[in-house]
């Protein structure tokens, strides 16, 4: 494409998606995320970048997802999905940030520079899949994304309202047709189809019951489960709450993030003692479970629990299949409860890697195992299987002894049920339900595997959150001076005390995490560390209070 045709890039910007704000915006852990009214020009420009990226990848399809996940309704965001359905390559984050922040007048020349820098052949075809969540600002932003794609003569395809993981899945399938059919229906066929197949083989027994309550966070995940529910033929009795009607607000006092962070039950869900409830986030890529006991105490089953449940079942099947040469590992972040890490290494005897927050880091680390199980404590995660693992399991399923074959075939069904591109609440929900059913477990028994250390998370507002620098997978901080020593001294006062501090990648705040052997101790430790952050890292606003 001759540079002169880049003029249309400017024309679209000026006429339809002008930059109206000078606030600097950064491509963070999960793309750009801020107030929706500051995003239109950013999303338009990401449409441009998606086309350039598609051409650099020889015309393979790139994804764009319009969502702000678990944030409240006024926010929105955009992230790019690479051809294999994974997050945008990290080296492009800086390019995305640059393109998002230049003035409209410099947009044409910056676009040209980027095309040169990444060596994109602009004569190639380009294809971009666009999805959005249920926010009322999403359609407008999706249109801006399409215009960006069109401005550089790429081909946009709009998927409408889909979960983030469905979009990732479709991108992957479009570029690798052995993975599945790149449509929402193709996704249901594969994932729900595998669930139904496995249910035929595993009769319901023991303490497992087929009723599952679901908190849909008033977002897209619950809506999709409502479609799936009708095709489940009674294998699973989904009772859905927070589907977005009846004045329910997206992620407000409900959803996976609310449940995990506040450790409170969501609004809008009917409560029956000991009934297990699955809570999704707004864009359907996180899942946590919980139940209330007869005194209304909440018992949370978070991403750590899901990881251990899945890993132990996969290990059992691998043993049954006698696929001993396949190694499995688990990837967590600093937020993983210390008790879970101990259980995985000492009881399950599965190796654990700890990495920085953000799916791209977990996914990357999980690739180093034949079978990598990765989960953040917040409920974002999946299982990925190497080609070697898939081939070995398929071979045993075909040629093995009868008992080996049975286990290997179950593993193949599990692989089909898994969205390997990214953490997926719907796929994870079916995986969890499969393991609970296979083992005849009640949620209480699932929870009995180990006892969580009580924990607390807090936020602190500071002048510049980047003043906090971390190392060792965010478990220690190297700046500002004296902060780590203060954290060490505070944590040392409590039995099983552990705490860390990190700048958020999605909000302009610093996060504090603490755990200890009692809830009161964890609450105190978190508050004391928050005070240390406030004092040593330039806190603004009210000083954090100690618990009464």
* 511 belongs to the binding site for ligand 16G (CB under 6 A): yes
Is 341 annotated in a binding site? The answer is no
Please report the sign of the dihedral spanned by the C-alpha atoms of residue 79, residue 80, residue 84, residue 86.
negative
Sites for ligand 16G among residues 368-407 (CB under 6 A): 376, 378, 380
Token pair 């971390």 in the structure block, residue: 470
Whole-angstrom CA distances from 240 to 78, 207, 232, 257, 530 are: 28, 22, 14, 18, 38
Nearer to Mg ion, 81 or 537 (CB): 81
The least CB distance from residue 504 to ligand 16G, in Å, is: 3
**Which of ligand 16G, Mg ion, none binds 283 (CB below 5-8 Å, type-dependent)?**
Mg ion
Query: CB-based contacts of 395: which residues, under 8 Å, 6+ apart?
Result: none
Which of the stretches 38-46, 171-179, 356-364, 477-485 binds ligand 16G when contact is defined by CB under 6 A? 356-364
* 359 belongs to the binding site for ligand 16G (CB under 6 A): yes
* 470 belongs to the binding site for ligand 16G (CB under 6 A): no
The least CB distance from residue 25 to ligand 16G, in Å, is: 15
Residue choice 76, 353, 357, 470 for contact with ligand 16G (CB under 6 A): 357
* 505 belongs to the binding site for ligand 16G (CB under 6 A): yes
**Which of Mg ion, ligand 16G, none binds 30 (CB below 5-8 Å, type-dependent)?**
ligand 16G
Q: Can you give the C-alpha Rg of the chain in angstroms?
A: 23
Specify whether the CB–CB gap between 415 and 390 falls below 8 A: yes
Task: Give, in degrees to the nearest 5, the angle at Cα 276 between 271 and 280.
Answer: 90
Residue choice 6, 30, 238, 522 for contact with ligand 16G (CB under 6 A): 30
Residue 541 — left, alpha, or beta (φ > 0 → left; ψ -120 to 50 → alpha)? left
Residue 309 DSSP class: H
Burial 462-492 (b: 16+ CB within 10 A, else e): beebebbebeebbbbbeebeebbebbeebbe
The least CB distance from residue 300 to ligand 16G, in Å, is: 16
Residue choice 34, 61, 67, 69 for contact with ligand 16G (CB under 6 A): 69
The least CB distance from residue 222 to ligand 16G, in Å, is: 19
The least CB distance from residue 357 to Mg ion, in Å, is: 13
**Which of Mg ion, ligand 16G, none binds 199 (CB below 5-8 Å, type-dependent)?**
none
Nearer to Mg ion, 168 or 447 (CB): 168
* The two structure tokens encoding residue 261: 């962070």
Candidate list 54, 69, 127, 340, residue with the active-site label: 69
Is 182 annotated in a binding site? The answer is no
Residues lying near Mg ion in the complex (CB under 5 A) are found at 69, 281, 283, 285
**Cα(89)–Cα(363) distance, integer angstroms:** 12
**Which of Mg ion, ligand 16G, none binds 506 (CB below 5-8 Å, type-dependent)?**
ligand 16G
* 17 belongs to the binding site for ligand 16G (CB under 6 A): no
Residue choice 77, 85, 320, 358 for contact with ligand 16G (CB under 6 A): 358
69 is catalytic: yes
Nearer to ligand 16G, 357 or 409 (CB): 357
The least CB distance from residue 465 to ligand 16G, in Å, is: 10
Which of the stretches 47-55, 193-201, 222-230, 503-511 binds ligand 16G when contact is defined by CB under 6 A? 503-511
Which of the stretches 174-182, 200-208, 451-459, 506-514 binds ligand 16G when contact is defined by CB under 6 A? 506-514
The least CB distance from residue 359 to ligand 16G, in Å, is: 4
**Cα(502)–Cα(524) distance, integer angstroms:** 18
Angle, helices 425-439 vs 220-229, to 10°: value is 50
The least CB distance from residue 110 to ligand 16G, in Å, is: 26
Specify whether the CB–CB gap between 127 and 116 falls below 8 A: no
Angle, helices 387-399 vs 402-417, to 10°: value is 140
**Which of ligand 16G, Mg ion, none binds 180 (CB below 5-8 Å, type-dependent)?**
none
Is 184 annotated in a binding site? The answer is no
- In 3D space, the residue among 78, 252, 530, 534 whose CA is nearest the CA of residue 546 turns out to be 530
* 167 belongs to the binding site for ligand 16G (CB under 6 A): no
Please report the sign of the dihedral spanned by the C-alpha atoms of residue 51, residue 56, residue 59, residue 63.
negative
One-character DSSP codes across 372-416: EEEE-TTS-EEEEE-HHHHHHHHHHHHHS-HHHHHHHHHHHHHHH
**Cα(103)–Cα(262) distance, integer angstroms:** 40
* The two structure tokens encoding residue 14: 């000026």
**Cα(1)–Cα(15) distance, integer angstroms:** 22
Is 18 annotated in a binding site? The answer is no
Burial 417-433 (b: 16+ CB within 10 A, else e): bbbbbbbbbbbbbbbbb
Token pair 């990290």 in the structure block, residue: 90
3-class state of residue 220 by DSSP: helix
**Which of ligand 16G, Mg ion, none binds 359 (CB below 5-8 Å, type-dependent)?**
ligand 16G
Q: How many residues bind ligand 16G (CB under 6 A)?
A: 14
One-character DSSP codes across 359-372: HHHHHHHHTTSSEE
* 45 belongs to the binding site for ligand 16G (CB under 6 A): no
Nearer to ligand 16G, 418 or 506 (CB): 506
One-character DSSP codes across 32-49: EEEEGGG-HHHHHHHHHH
Is 377 annotated in a binding site? The answer is yes
Nearer to Mg ion, 69 or 427 (CB): 69
The least CB distance from residue 505 to ligand 16G, in Å, is: 3
**Which of ligand 16G, Mg ion, none binds 511 (CB below 5-8 Å, type-dependent)?**
ligand 16G
Q: Residues marked as binding for Mg(2+)?
A: 69, 281, 283, 285
Q: Which residues bind ligand 16G (CB under 6 A)?
A: 29-30, 69, 357-359, 376, 378, 380, 504-507, 511
**Positions marked active-site:** 69
Q: Residues marked as binding?
A: 69, 281, 283, 285, 376-378, 502-506, 511
């Amino acid at each position: 494409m001759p540079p002169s045709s880049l003029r249309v890039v400017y024309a679209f910007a000026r006429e339809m998606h002008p930059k109206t704000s000078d606030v600097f915006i950064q491509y963070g852990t999960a793309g750009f995320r801020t107030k929706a009214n500051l995003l239109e020009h950013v999303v338009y420009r990401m449409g441009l970048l998606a086309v350039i990226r598609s051409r650099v990848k020889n015309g393979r399809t790139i994804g764009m997802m319009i969502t702000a996940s678990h944030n409240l309704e006024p926010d929105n965001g955009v992230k790019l999905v690479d051809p294999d359905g994974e997050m945008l390559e990290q080296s492009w984050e800086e390019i995305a940030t640059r393109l998002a922040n230049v003035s409209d007048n410099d947009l044409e020349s910056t676009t040209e520079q980027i095309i040169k820098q990444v060596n994109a052949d602009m004569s190639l075809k380009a294809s971009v899949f666009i999805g959005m969540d249920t926010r009322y600002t999403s359609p407008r932003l999706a249109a801006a994304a399409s215009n960006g794609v069109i401005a550089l003569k790429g081909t946009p395809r709009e998927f409408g309202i889909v979960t983030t993981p469905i979009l990732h899945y479709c991108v992957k399938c479009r570029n690798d047709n052995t993975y599945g059919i790149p449509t929402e229906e193709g996704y249901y066929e594969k994932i729900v189809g595998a669930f139904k197949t496995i249910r035929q083989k595993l009769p319901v027994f023991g303490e497992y019951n087929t009723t599952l309550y679901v908190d849909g966070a008033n977002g897209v995940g619950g809506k999709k489960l409502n479609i799936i529910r009708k095709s489940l033929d009674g294998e699973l009795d989904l009772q859905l709450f927070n589907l977005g009607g009846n004045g329910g607000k997206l992620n407000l006092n409900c959803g996976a993030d609310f449940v995990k962070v506040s450790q409170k039950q969501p609004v809008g869900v009917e409560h029956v003692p000991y009934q297990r409830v699955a809570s999704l986030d707004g864009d359907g890529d996180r899942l946590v479970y919980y139940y209330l006991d007869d005194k209304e105490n909440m018992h949370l089953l978070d991403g750590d629990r899901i990881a251990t449940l899945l890993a132990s079942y996969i290990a059992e099947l691998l043993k049954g299949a006698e696929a001993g040469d396949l190694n499995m590992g688990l990837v967590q972040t600093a937020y993983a409860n210390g008790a879970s890490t101990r259980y995985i290494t000492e009881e399950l005897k599965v190796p654990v890697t700890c990495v920085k927050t953000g799916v791209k880091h977990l996914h990357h680390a999980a690739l180093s195992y034949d079978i990598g199980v990765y989960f953040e404590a917040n409920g974002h995660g999946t299982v990925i299987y190497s080609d070697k693992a898939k081939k070995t399991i398929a071979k045993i399923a075909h040629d093995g002894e009868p008992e080996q074959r049975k286990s290997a075939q179950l593993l193949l069904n599990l692989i089909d049920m898994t969205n390997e591109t990214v953490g997926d609440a719907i796929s994870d929900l079916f995986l969890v339900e499969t393991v609970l059913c296979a083992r005849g477990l009640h949620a209480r028994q699932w929870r009995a595997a180990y006892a969580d250390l009580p924990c607390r998370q807090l936020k602190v507002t500071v002048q510049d959150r980047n003043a906090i620098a971390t190392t060792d997978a965010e478990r220690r901080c190297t700046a500002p001076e004296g902060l780590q020593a203060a954290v060490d001294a505070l944590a040392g006062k409590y039995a099983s005390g552990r705490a860390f501090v990190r700048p958020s990648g999605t909000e302009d705040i610093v996060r504090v995490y603490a755990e200890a052997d009692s809830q009161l101790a964890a609450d105190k430790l978190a508050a004391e560390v928050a005070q240390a952050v406030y004092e040593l890292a330039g806190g603004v606003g009210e000083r954090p209070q100690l618990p009464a």
